[in-house]
């Protein structure tokens, strides 16, 4: 009968050449075909009379050839007129051979499948799938829906269907192992794996196709649950590996940490103190901390990270803070210098744009251990950077870095005393179920409290036809001593997207607000020039800062109380929430105005209404997840979030608590089962390795 783990060459018709082609679809073993699910289905379970056909139908029909002729009306085409007594239908071919032409002799019967449309002389199907029937043959009517699979060059649908049918026959004689705990399958009321696979490759004719298209059929849920479980267990395994690795325990360092906290010009919130305690306990352990800090814009994550650095320095190891952009790294550099200079802690700076002499001095300070805290961009982990005794890595804006980078950083920092501790931060709050799936290799802390005195930002959406009213509001606020951000998504005019570009807005505002100082900052400026403008804005010498989204994470200017966002209908919810968080940091009531171009689509209306209704980043993130999906929210391109074959993190998020429990049951009972589930879904060389 054969085994599902056998190579595809055991199937009839698969030689080395076809096996190589199928590998492009990531199909290597018979079992892979079972999990290679259809993109959609075609209904060939009913033979329709030609007289019943209507434009827009996609169906199976049959008729006798009345006439076949090649015509040259604009382009060469073969027209085949067929009838079944109830009506007539034209089959139109633009690409055909003499052999095909010869098949359509008057009197032969043809069954065909395709999209019915209105033609010049009645209904027609262009390039139908067809079969010329023998005298005693009837049209083949299927018992189940016909699957349509993803294809690669060199493999036709018919061949794939045949191979899947062989794999299903093999499965029926030798079902795949049931790897989920029976209690979980029973609790969720799910079918067996074999039942689910059989059903999804050959759905019966009476199936509600809309349920399958929505991805919520119990058979799809059975597979989605196991796939989520495989990814979750893979990440947890990575976490468990870290727990078995050595790290230097960092003592509490109470004196320096207390000194640092006492030197702050404000009181920490209860949430900040709680998270500092969680981190402090992790750092004392002899295995590497891997912790994620989530917190809304302005919740004070950076000061919590600095307290962790104080604990590392007090334990005589180096700490490093890495940010995804030079601008954010520079912000940290400024803040950390203000905090630690007076405590006698030496800092070093490292970035890709540094002059050679500065870089050389930084590398020497890092390598000798003289630099106790090192701040920079990803340049920190490039070739040639050698730490003396790295004990703590802090990564800001975690969603820009993926699992691969987290592992690479941990390995880069390995010393004789083990791996460094790792703390990652994000100001993009992540809904709990998504965090469970995407960051299962991390322990999570949430700073769910804003510092006292932070007022919610009043938010409104206005059509850009009212731009000049907004300009006048900016003039009034700035004349009274306030400052404003005016944010535009692009730097230059774009005919394609018709964005209001930063350059154009800068010119417009400079002309309209001639009594105020208007400056421009964008990502293409040299660091020194951008830093100079930012410093001037922070110092109060600039009234209105026109900017691209480079200020999404940037300077903290308590006097800025107005945020204007151009083309808000084109931006993601979480990004706009980040931008809005740039204001509302002072005593004044702050306002955010989202300008949009009309007409406004339904999705854009939904997004803008969420921001008007709430200032809670976790609520915003949940809605962003529902409206745009996890890839947009977390930045899939940067993170390499796993590509799920069947599961959908939004649709199937409700499974995550049960996934977590099932993983616990399996881990406690059977490591072989864990390995088998991960191998089934992620293969032997999967993303997160080491299982």
Average pLDDT of the segment spanning 671-679:
86
Domains 47-141 and 458-614 alike in fold? no
At residue 589, what are phi and psi to the nearest 5 degrees?
-65, 130
Average pLDDT of the segment spanning 69-86:
90
% of the chain surpassing 90 pLDDT:
40
Top CATH class of 458-614 equals: alpha beta
User: Of all residues in the chain, what percent are helix, strand and coil, respectively (each to 5)?
Assistant: 45, 20, 35
Could you tell me if 289 and 317 are in contact, meaning their C-beta atoms sit under 8 angstroms apart? no
Q: What pLDDT is attached to residue 499?
A: 41
Q: DSSP string spanning 82-138? A: EE-SS-EEEEEESS--HHHHHH--TT-EEEEEEEEEEETTEEEEES-EEEEEPTT--
> What is the topology classification, in CATH, of domain 249-447?
Rossmann fold (3.40.50)
Q: For the segment 578-597, what is each residue's pLDDT rounded down to a tens digit?
A: 888 888 877 778 999 999 98
State how far the Cα of 93 lies from the Cα of 189, in Å rounded to an integer: 49
Q: For residue 520, what are the β-bridge partners?
A: 546
Q: For the segment 80-114, what is each residue's pLDDT rounded down to a tens digit?
A: 999 999 999 999 999 888 888 889 999 999 999 99
- In 3D, which of 155, 197, 146 has the Cα closest to residue 40? 146
pLDDT band at 39 (very low <50, low <70, confident <90, very high): confident
| Residue 201 CB burial class (10 angstroms; 0-12, 13-18, ≥19) | buried
pLDDT band at 640 (very low <50, low <70, confident <90, very high): very low
Flag whether pLDDT at 636 surpasses 60.
no
Higher pLDDT, 526 or 226: 226
Q: What pLDDT is attached to residue 156?
A: 83
Average pLDDT of the segment spanning 437-456:
81
Q: What pLDDT is attached to residue 491?
A: 47
Flag whether pLDDT at 688 surpasses 80.
no
Q: What pLDDT is attached to residue 473?
A: 94
At residue 420, what are phi and psi to the nearest 5 degrees?
-75, 160
Flag whether pLDDT at 454 surpasses 80.
no
Q: What pLDDT is attached to residue 238?
A: 80
Q: What pLDDT is attached to residue 414?
A: 74
Q: Which CATH number fits domain 47-141: 3.40.50.2300, 2.40.50.140, 2.60.120.200, 3.40.50.1980?
A: 2.40.50.140
Q: For the segment 530-543, what is each residue's pLDDT rounded down to a tens digit?
A: 878 888 898 899 99
Average pLDDT of the residues of the chain: 85
Report which listed range, 16-20, 328-332, 571-575, is most confident. 16-20
Q: What pLDDT is attached to residue 550?
A: 62
Q: What pLDDT is attached to residue 630?
A: 58
Could you tell me if 125 and 117 are in contact, meaning their C-beta atoms sit under 8 angstroms apart? yes
Q: In the chain, where are the structural domains located?
A: 47-141, 177-244+652-691, 249-447, 458-614
- Measured in whole angstroms, the distance separating CA 67 from the mean position of its chain's CA atoms is 55
Flag whether pLDDT at 490 surpasses 70.
no
Flag whether pLDDT at 362 surpasses 90.
yes
**Which of 166-170, 194-198, 239-243, 399-403 is predicted with the least confidence, judged by mean pLDDT?**
399-403
């Amino acid at each position: 009968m054969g085994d599902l783990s056998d190579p595809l060459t055991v199937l009839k018709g698969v030689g080395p050449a076809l096996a190589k082609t199928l590998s492009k679809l990531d199909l290597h073993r018979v079992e892979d075909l079972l999990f290679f699910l259809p993109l959609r289905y075609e209904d060939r379970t009913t033979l329709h009379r030609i007289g019943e056909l209507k434009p827009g139908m996609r169906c199976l029909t049959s008729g006798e050839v009345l006439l076949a002729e090649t015509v040259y009306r604009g382009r060469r085409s073969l027209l085949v007129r067929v009838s079944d007594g109830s009506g007539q239908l034209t089959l139109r071919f633009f690409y055909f051979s003499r052999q095909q032409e010869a098949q359509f002799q008057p009197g032969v019967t043809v069954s065909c499948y395709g999209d019915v449309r209105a033609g010049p002389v009645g209904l027609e199907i262009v390039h139908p799938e067809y079969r010329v029937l023998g005298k005693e043959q009837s049209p083949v009517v299927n018992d189940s829906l016909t699957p349509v699979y993803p294809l690669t060059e060199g493999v036709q649908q018919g061949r794939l269907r045949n191979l899947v049918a062989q794999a299903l026959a093999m499965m029926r004689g030798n079902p795949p192992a049931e790897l989920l705990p029976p209690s979980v399958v029973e609790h969720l009321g799910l079918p067996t794996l074999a039942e689910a696979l059989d059903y999804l490759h050959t759905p019966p004719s009476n199936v509600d196709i809309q349920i399958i298209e929505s991805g919520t059929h119990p058979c799809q849920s059975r597979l989605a649950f196991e796939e989520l479980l495989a990814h979750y267990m893979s990440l947890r395994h990575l976490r468990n590996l870290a727990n078995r690795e050595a790290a230097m325990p960092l003592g509490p360092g109470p004196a320096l940490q207390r000194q640092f906290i006492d030197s702050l010009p404000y009181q920490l919130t209860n949430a900040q103190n709680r998270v500092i305690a969680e981190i402090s306990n992790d750092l004392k352990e002899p295995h590497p901390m891997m912790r994620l800090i989530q917190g809304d814009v302005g919740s004070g994550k950076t000061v919590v990270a600095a307290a962790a650095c104080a604990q590392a320095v007090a334990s005589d190891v180096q700490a490093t803070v890495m940010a995804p952009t030079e601008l954010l790294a520079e912000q940290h550099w400024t803040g950390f210098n203000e905090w630690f200079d007076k405590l006698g802690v030496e800092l070093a700076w490292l970035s890709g744009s540094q002059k050679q002499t500065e870089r050389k001095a930084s590398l020497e300070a890092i390598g000798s251990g003289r630099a106790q805290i090192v701040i920079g961009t990803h340049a920190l982990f490039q070739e040639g950077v050698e730490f003396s005794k790295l004990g703590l890595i802090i990564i800001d804006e975690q969603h820009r870095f993926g699992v691969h980078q987290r592992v690479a950083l941990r390995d880069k920092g390995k010393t004789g005393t083990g791996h460094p501790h790792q703390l990652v931060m994000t100001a993009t709050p992540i809904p709990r179920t998504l965090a469970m799936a995407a960051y299962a290799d991390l322990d999570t802390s949430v700073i769910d409290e804003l510092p006292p005195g932070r007022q919610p930002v009043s938010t409104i959406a206005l059509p850009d036809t009212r731009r000049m009213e907004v300009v006048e509001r900016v003039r009034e606020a700035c004349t009274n001593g306030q400052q404003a951000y005016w944010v535009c998504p692009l730097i230059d005019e774009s005919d394609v997207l018709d964005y209001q570009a930063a350059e154009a807005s800068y010119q417009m505002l400079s002309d309209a607000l001639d009594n105020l100082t208007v400056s421009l900052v964008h990502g293409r400026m040299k660091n020194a020039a951008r830093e100079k403008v930012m410093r001037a804005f922070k110092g109060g010498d600039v009234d209105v800062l026109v900017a691209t989204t480079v200020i999404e994470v940037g300077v903290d200017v308590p006097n800025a109380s107005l945020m204007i966002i151009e083309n808000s209908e084109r931006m993601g919810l979480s990004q706009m929430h980040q931008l809005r968080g740039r204001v509302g940091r002072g005593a004044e009531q702050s306002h955010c105005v989202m300008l949009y171009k009309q007409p406004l689509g339904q999705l854009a209306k939904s997004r803008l209404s969420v921001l008007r209704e709430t200032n809670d980043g976790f609520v915003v993130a949940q809605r962003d997840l529902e409206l745009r999906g996890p890839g947009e929210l977390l930045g899939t391109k940067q993170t390499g979030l796993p590509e799920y074959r069947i599961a959908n993190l939004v649709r199937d998020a409700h499974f995550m608590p049960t996934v977590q429990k099932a993983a616990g049951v399996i881990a406690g009972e059977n490591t072989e089962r864990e390995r088998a589930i991960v191998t089934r879904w992620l293969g032997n060389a999967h993303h997160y390795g080491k299982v």
